[in-house]
């Protein structure tokens, strides 16, 4: 499936006076890189709001200075160190119960405080767990640390705070390790739209540091198709949370 099927569905929505929201999350930022610069330029060009999940432990003012002049970028907390503490063959997880929960929460609190200090109004009080995995007991403790939302991958589930998930991952982690073919990704986007219970805000998940030509090409195709389409709105998490509250 190519982008034509997605465009036809969007055209039908526009004809019915309906629209769908998209949002973009990119993970694993620490410092300025050519790949990040490319992502920032692409999202500024169309323009598309960007949530950048930053790993707090090793980041600093260099990245903050780069992002400070970009109104379309918000920064979320991506764990603390992006280190896995799970014991193989368990899947990788930083925010699990393989160590004392007090230690995990202390790191999250430190990450929240560090990024809030670095980014000010650009800071989004959202937690993005590394590898999209987090123990339920840690989720329950997030509001007390100041977090207002949580973002993982897949359909949203009820939690003690707002959940804004991603649903379309550009990367073929279990296969080639590169970007999925565009036809597959457009099929995933369409599936989110036409499901029996459509996804109200389709979250697109990027990882700029490992993008290949497939990933970059799909992002540009998607933005070109949707950014100016009357049935699409690319939105920031804060706008989605306010809409839910109302």
How many structural domains is the chain composed of? 1
Q: Domain range spanning residue 152?
A: 3-245
| 79-90 pLDDT per residue, tens | 999 999 999 899
Cis omega (within 30 of 0) on the bond before 241?
A: no
Alpha-carbon span 194 to 61, nearest angstrom: 43
When the pLDDT of each residue in the chain is averaged and rounded to a whole number, the result is: 95
**Binning pLDDT at 50, 70 and 90, where does residue 244 land?**
low
DSSP string, 177-213: SSBPPHHHHHHHHHHHHHSSS--SEEEEEE-GGG--H
Q: What is the CATH number of the domain that holds 212?
A: 3.20.20.370
Mean pLDDT of 132-151: 98
Mean pLDDT of 102-109: 98
Contact 43, 81 (CB under 8 A): no
Q: How far is CA 7 from CA 114, 184, 189, 193, in A?
A: 42, 15, 11, 12
Q: Is 55's pLDDT higher than 90?
A: yes
Which contacts of 190-195 are long-range, i.e. CB under 8 A and separated by 24 or more positions? 190/1, 190/5, 190/6, 190/9, 192/167, 192/168, 193/6, 193/9, 193/20, 194/9
Q: Is 241's pLDDT higher than 80?
A: no
pLDDT at 240: 77
Contact 181, 214 (CB under 8 A): yes
Contact 118, 56 (CB under 8 A): no
């Amino acid at each position: 499936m190519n982008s034509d099927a997605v465009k036809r569905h969007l055209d039908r929505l526009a004809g019915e006076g309906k629209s769908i929201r998209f949002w973009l999350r990119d993970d694993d930022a620490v410092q300025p890189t050519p790949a990040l610069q490319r992502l920032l330029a692409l999202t500024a060009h169309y323009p598309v709001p960007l949530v950048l999940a930053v790993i707090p432990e090793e980041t600093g003012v260099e990245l903050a200075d780069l992002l400070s002049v970009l109104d379309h970028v918000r920064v979320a907390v991506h764990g603390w160190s992006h280190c896995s503490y799970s014991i193989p063959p368990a899947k990788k997880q930083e925010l699990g119960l393989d160590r004392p929960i007090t230690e995990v929460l202390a790191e999250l609190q430190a990450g929240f405080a560090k990024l809030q200090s670095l980014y000010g109004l650009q800071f989004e009080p959202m937690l993005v767990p590394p590898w999209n995995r987090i123990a339920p007991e840690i989720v329950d403790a997030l509001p007390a640390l100041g977090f207002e939302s949580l973002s993982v991958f897949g359909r949203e589930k009820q939690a003690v705070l707002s959940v804004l998930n991603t649903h379309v991952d550009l990367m073929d982690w279990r296969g080639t390790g590169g970007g999925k073919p565009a036809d597959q990704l457009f099929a995933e986007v369409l599936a989110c739209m036409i499901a029996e219970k459509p996804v109200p805000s389709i979250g697109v998940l990027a990882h700029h540091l490992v993008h290949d030509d497939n990933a970059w090409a799909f992002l540009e195709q998607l933005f070109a198709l949707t950014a100016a389409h009357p049935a699409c709105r690319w939105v920031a998490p804060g706008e989605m949370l306010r809409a839910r509250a109302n």
